[in-house]
Structure 1
Amino acid sequence: MSPAPDAARREAEHNLDVMKRMRLAEKAILARAPEHDLEPDLDRIAAVMELLGDPQRSYPVIHLTGTNGKTSTTRIIESVLLEMGLKTGRFTSPHLHTIRERIALSGQPISPEKFLAAYEDVLPFIEMVDARSATEGGPRMTFFEVLVAVAYAAFADAPVDVAIVEVGMGGGWDATNVADGTVSVVTPIAMDHQHFLGNDVTEIAAEKAGIIKSGSLAVVGVQEPEVAQVLAHRASEVGARISFEGNDFGLLTRDLAVGGQQLSIRGLGGDYDDLFLPLHGAHQAHNTVVALAAVEAFLGGGEQRLDPEVVRAGLAAVASPGRLEIVRRSPTVIVDAAHNTAGALALRNALEDSFNFARIVGVVAILKDKPATEMLEILEPVLDHVVVTRTTSPRAMRPEDLGELAADIFGEDRVTVIHELPDALDVAAGLADEGGGVSGGVLATGSVTTAAEVRMLLGATEV
């Protein structure tokens, strides 16, 4: 056999082996307690990190919490830092299509080979901690804790110049919080995950404030006054500097533009004009304001203006898959991962602000533990018709139950119940064209899973 075919055969065998090992690793990780059934305790993840030599302390971290906007803000920070020539690590959750999306190196999902290398490095220590926990009557490490360990190890191995890390839930006891952020970012806080975080915004804020560490710089988006007070108290308590949107930095102007919006921003270190952001909605403008302040805080302690041309290039390259994302034309299909009331409100405002459909039909699938009634009430004014359905998630609400809620809000003549998501998408496309022609649109929303599955059905699998 000639050398070239032999090399091709070995490469094919290697790729098959990697794919097989990746499937086995993912199956093993998914067999652990899921992220919505977490264990609010840092002991296990801290033990694994210590056994590994605390890799999360080998690079600076920008740490993000909040209720909505975390992933988009993380991606915006990453894009600007990449434009500045830094090697970045990004950790976000949940994922749309593959578990590897959660761990990105310099803007790209971690490769299967690098994921496996990090996973196989940390697995013996995870198993040691699992065994120790079992002897004390405790649980194994969760799905999310394992992914945090893999991410922090992969970032150290790369190595990265900076890691931009989004919490999974909360802050203080979130597994990501074994790292100490040089910059702590808090996007707007609202009600969500009350069974874990608390029953009012001040309780939730107190938990999320746990990512603000001694000597760090905290960059805070627009908050309710009582939330701002909690965050300011935490900063004072631990000796961190804190800056608030609307006081220390903010949005100067915002104008709609083809494919996005044009912004002028007052940062911590100076003003930035003529910024094009290829994302829709006022909430994304505010995410950008916070992201830019976070980059200023990281690179110059908030005291230096960044190169405006670099900022412009970094923002122009931003993408946020599954967030007001157009995934098809004729009719236009938009996916949005709104999964709580704050997300639904931001979505409604963005639809009213940035789109001009003659008719818009919603494809809505919501998880059982989410505030479906409130979300539907928020979206009702901007949807001419709603097709309720379900995703493949075991947590999905039954279409019949969601349909009853929707009928009470929209009226029965504006609601269609379809059991399978692909069929629901087809029905919605037909309804959007009905009377609306080319100016009709479809909005698929209600959960991250809804956005992900519609993206996949329409062939949009790149992130």
Structure 2
Amino acid sequence: MSPLPLPGAGAGAERSDAAAESVYQELLERVGEANPRPRIEPVRRLAELAGSPQLSFPVIQVAGTNGKTSTSRAIESLLRAYGLRTGLFTSPHLVDFSERFQIDGEPISGEALASAWDELRAPLAVADAELAESGQGPITFFEALAVLAFSAFADAPVEVGVIEVGMGGEWDATNIVDAQVAVFTPIGLDHTEFLGPDIASIARTKAGIVKDGATVVTADQDPDALAEIEAAAAEHGATLVVQGRDFRLVEDRLAVGGRQIDVVGLSGRAYPPAYVPLFGSHQAQNAALAIAAVEAFFGADRPLPGEVLDEGLGQLTSPGRLQLIGTDPIVYVDAAHNPHGAAALVRAVEESFQFEELALVVGILGEKDAAGVLAALAPIAHRVTLTRVDSPRSADPSDLLSVAAESIPDTPIEIADSLPEALDEARAWAARAEGRAVLVAGSVVLAGEAIEFARAEGWGTK
């Protein structure tokens, strides 16, 4: 088959966007991704009916609580710099649905996505009918989404897929792949209503992505999480490599617009200093993990060529992660939505910027640990505006007020009915004095809203 077309411009781009949006709207008629079903066989059956596209290319699969998307993007970028045609599947999207499916570093075209969706219609109808006959619910949004991604990547065709786990691992819809490399970013508490009440339970579920004979590459972990990953590796005869033991980030220095890192890889080779154009020491850790994952894919005794490292990391982007969306005044957005992610965000701001005062615009989904997120953000907050996320799952800003007052004491806290109102107020405050800036955080959905609003308002950034 011919390669998938990349997004065009003008009327063609509008048609492509409309085609992708049409697919998205059909998917939204299914049970949403916020309500996963702990099952895997229906997804496997749907893929089987579609020709098992997930088996047509090798896979690196990425699980964890924080840093999954950034690490996945770094892995994909390094593989692309190596000359491979890549497919990258991440969730959720920030603005455009097609962001979830990347072919060679670009969002898939709407036409290609619609074509893959048309091919999936008949298998979906059969799978839904079989599930109804057995008394089960139909294929969900994310179950269909994952098989759609695999089908699109097989059609491209890609030479390697980098697949971010949606939630958990063992029963996540992406886990029908036969990943030869399983990557674990730091595991913490999140989605406890689905994954379990403690880190050990959550890690046990996430470790379900380990396959027989695979290579397991893990970040530095909480001891309880590492024990579960070690147990899964042993059960499946997998090779386990651990950050700090088998590969390591030797040095991480602040650089203009990002970090400069020194890494010792799986072969024991010390790489020359490499530039990572992302903010925060956590992004340096993500980059080191990505390097080890790509080494594992090609073979631990094969260090990456220097030009691959430089190009792969140098071209890296991570939308929604301390992304600049406005310059007059300065406005950043970050998708941090749990205490661990919020703490990493605070460290990145403190390390990378010298704002005299920072206004936070915060919206949080109702099921999240709002008190933990707000407490983690407290060290950088000089003013807080609470607002609603554009989601039925949003926490009511009025309900967050007492939580915020306790978590961020002695700080002005206001409520705005909408994100545009919150941004208008925060930007007006920031414009009144030198050294002030605005940061939007608390939800991936809110981050996407802010990016889209900034584009519509013409704030002067991409």
Alpha-carbon shift at residue 14 of structure 1 (Å): 8.1
Alpha-carbon shift at residue 378 of structure 1 (Å): 1.0
Q: Secondary structure at the match of 2:358?
A: strand
What is the aligned counterpart of 2:424 among 398, 417, 426? Answer: 426
Alpha-carbon shift at residue 374 of structure 1 (Å): 1.0
What is the aligned counterpart of 1:238 among 236, 239, 246? Answer: 236
How far, CA to CA, are the matches of 1:18 and 1:126 in structure 2?
A: 23
Alpha-carbon shift at residue 127 of structure 1 (Å): 1.1
Cα deviation 1:139-184 (Å, max 9, x = unaligned) = 1111101111111011111111100000000001000000011110
Q: Secondary structure at the match of 2:316?
A: coil
How far, CA to CA, are the matches of 1:19 and 1:371 in structure 2?
A: 35
How far, CA to CA, are the matches of 1:165 and 1:358 in structure 2?
A: 40
How far, CA to CA, are the matches of 1:433 and 1:13 in structure 2?
A: 38
Cα deviation 1:86-137 (Å, max 9, x = unaligned) = 0000000000112211111111111001101111111110111001111111
How far, CA to CA, are the matches of 2:216 and 2:121 in structure 1?
A: 34
Does the CA contact (< 8 Å) of 2:95 and 2:451 recur in 1? no
Q: Kindly report which structure 2 residues correspond to 1:245-284, keeping only aligned pairs within 5 A, or say none.
A: 245-269=243-267, 270-284=269-283
- Report whether the alignment pairs 1:137 with 2:135: yes
Q: Secondary structure at the match of 2:168?
A: coil
Q: Secondary structure at the match of 1:273?
A: coil
Cα deviation 1:254-286 (Å, max 9, x = unaligned) = 111111111111111222122010000011000
What is the aligned counterpart of 1:349 among 343, 347, 350? Answer: 347
Taking a change above 3 Å as real, the CA distance of residues 412 and 110 of structure 1, as seen in their structure-2 partners, is same
Q: Secondary structure at the match of 2:272?
A: strand
Corresponding residue of 2:120: 122
How far, CA to CA, are the matches of 1:13 and 1:295 in structure 2?
A: 39
Corresponding residue of 2:193: 195
Alpha-carbon shift at residue 82 of structure 1 (Å): 0.8
- Report whether the alignment pairs 1:48 with 2:46: yes
Aligned residues: CA RMSD: 1.8
Taking a change above 3 Å as real, the CA distance of residues 421 and 235 of structure 1, as seen in their structure-2 partners, is same
How far, CA to CA, are the matches of 1:12 and 1:320 in structure 2?
A: 26
- Report whether the alignment pairs 1:73 with 2:71: yes
Taking a change above 3 Å as real, the CA distance of residues 444 and 15 of structure 1, as seen in their structure-2 partners, is closer
Q: Kindly report which structure 2 residues correspond to 1:109-188, keeping only aligned pairs within 5 A, or say none.
A: 109-188=107-186
Cα deviation 1:298-323 (Å, max 9, x = unaligned) = 01x21111101220111010000001
Cα deviation 1:172-204 (Å, max 9, x = unaligned) = 100000001111000000000011101110111
How far, CA to CA, are the matches of 1:87 and 1:265 in structure 2?
A: 25
How far, CA to CA, are the matches of 1:20 and 1:103 in structure 2?
A: 16
Alpha-carbon shift at residue 330 of structure 1 (Å): 2.5
Q: Secondary structure at the match of 1:272?
A: coil
What is the aligned counterpart of 2:453 among 451, 457, 462? Answer: 457
Corresponding residue of 1:401: 399
How far, CA to CA, are the matches of 1:362 and 1:449 in structure 2?
A: 16
Corresponding residue of 1:97: 95
Does the CA contact (< 8 Å) of 2:19 and 2:110 recur in 1? no
Amino acid at match of 1:350: A
What is the aligned counterpart of 2:365 among 367, 372, 383? Answer: 367
Alpha-carbon shift at residue 413 of structure 1 (Å): 5.2
How far, CA to CA, are the matches of 2:12 and 2:386 in structure 1?
A: 44
Taking a change above 3 Å as real, the CA distance of residues 311 and 194 of structure 1, as seen in their structure-2 partners, is same
5+ unaligned residues in a row in structure 1: which ranges?
Answer: 1-10
How far, CA to CA, are the matches of 2:196 and 2:71 in structure 1?
A: 24
Q: Kindly report which structure 2 residues correspond to 1:194-233, keeping only aligned pairs within 5 A, or say none.
A: 194-233=192-231
Taking a change above 3 Å as real, the CA distance of residues 16 and 242 of structure 1, as seen in their structure-2 partners, is closer
Taking a change above 3 Å as real, the CA distance of residues 128 and 458 of structure 1, as seen in their structure-2 partners, is same
Corresponding residue of 1:447: 443
Amino acid at match of 1:200: D
Alpha-carbon shift at residue 13 of structure 1 (Å): 9.3
Does the CA contact (< 8 Å) of 2:21 and 2:97 recur in 1? no
Taking a change above 3 Å as real, the CA distance of residues 16 and 372 of structure 1, as seen in their structure-2 partners, is closer
Corresponding residue of 2:309: 311
TM-score (norm 1): 0.94
5+ unaligned residues in a row in structure 2: which ranges?
Answer: 1-8
Corresponding residue of 1:34: 32
Amino acid at match of 1:275: A
How far, CA to CA, are the matches of 1:30 and 1:415 in structure 2?
A: 35
Alpha-carbon shift at residue 353 of structure 1 (Å): 1.3
Select between 188-197 and 349-358 the one with higher mean Cα deviation.
349-358
Alpha-carbon shift at residue 22 of structure 1 (Å): 4.0
Cα deviation 1:47-90 (Å, max 9, x = unaligned) = 01111221111110000000000000000011111111100000
Q: Secondary structure at the match of 1:368?
A: coil
Amino acid at match of 2:37: E
How far, CA to CA, are the matches of 1:348 and 1:19 in structure 2?
A: 35
How far, CA to CA, are the matches of 1:23 and 1:154 in structure 2?
A: 16
Alpha-carbon shift at residue 418 of structure 1 (Å): 1.0
How far, CA to CA, are the matches of 1:133 and 1:88 in structure 2?
A: 33
Determine what percentage of the aligned residue pairs are the same residue. Answer: 42
How far, CA to CA, are the matches of 1:189 and 1:169 in structure 2?
A: 12
Q: Secondary structure at the match of 1:26?
A: helix
Corresponding residue of 1:8: none
Query: Higher helix fraction: Structure 1 or Structure 2?
Result: 1
Taking a change above 3 Å as real, the CA distance of residues 316 and 369 of structure 1, as seen in their structure-2 partners, is same
Q: Secondary structure at the match of 2:344?
A: helix
How far, CA to CA, are the matches of 1:172 and 1:335 in structure 2?
A: 32
Amino acid at match of 1:141: I
Corresponding residue of 1:288: 287
Alpha-carbon shift at residue 407 of structure 1 (Å): 2.0
How far, CA to CA, are the matches of 2:106 and 2:15 in structure 1?
A: 22
Q: Secondary structure at the match of 1:356?
A: coil
Taking a change above 3 Å as real, the CA distance of residues 13 and 303 of structure 1, as seen in their structure-2 partners, is closer
